[in-house]
Structure 1
């Protein structure tokens, strides 16, 4: 069993549509979730209701969590018909030394080690296209969520983020910030500092498209001891 500590970052001043959830499941196990509501499609309500459903659920396996997300998807589609109540969701469930990832939509989870990084789900850069990203609420049947299961070693770190972070900072830069930080709080502080600076300048590195993309930004950074 590997113990962990975490820090969160959230700035919902752009649209008010991001959400996050962390649950301590005991014995070092945890559930971390980020959600990015789709702008103009009831995203704030969708991300909030999904976060509440996951917080109130007794689900403690990735299959049960996926079932909860699927139930919420059915409710959203029944009300919004695929045009309203849309949100991404990316889930990291840690149980007994293994990290279980499930995702619908494009919000990435990145696994950072001392010498590499791996995107476990989602994508970095570019705008969300609801049909491609398979957001919760976009279809009557959610289908299979993206799934990954990995072992976690001491010294590993993970980042869950929404595109207000990842559209303005590429994976290698984000991973290096997390890798070089002494604490999760230092990592989230540095991420916020860099993105806030780029917001003032209105620019990002050329490889990201030059123009800053103003959006809600949310991240959970977790260090494994």
Structure 2
């Protein structure tokens, strides 16, 4: 095992996976949401940097090659579990999340079954776009928890008419109500749309891997 900067970044991303969930056990909202967003966002950036640096500095290693996809899957699966907990039984979140979890589990099992021939399941550009869409969607949905908290705090004791007047710009916005309102609106809607796009790409790439593996899954005559 080689401890170079790319591998250290990969290990950091792997350790961030459980940390994203654990912060919600010890911190209240919105602090837990802030920490989870920072951890997940920082870990997502390392997904690009570790590969870039490994190629740039010629520091590719078996350890990094093995751990990189594991760290990606750990981050995504843990974050989706946390989002499912935060949003509750929402079909808009649970359905795409279920497809994403199914695909990740299926492909991991497929690679394990193929053993030495698993190299045929190389990561495609579409699979990289899938991972990018997943990470952006999750980060946006984490930000919803922040916006919604401040929206709730800013409207305590406020009647509907006052809220409408502030949102329409007829009254001063001393509690940043407009930012919280539109932030929560767009982060939820945008996050859900991105999550469904990620789920669609997830299904497509999973089917692609299955088609490539089919010759190795046929029974001997």
TM over 0.5: no
Q: Give the strand-richer structure, 1 or 2.
A: 1
Provide TM-score, normalisation by structure 1: 0.26
- Structure with the greater alpha carbon radius of gyration: 2
Q: Tell me the TM-score normalised to structure 2 length.
A: 0.27
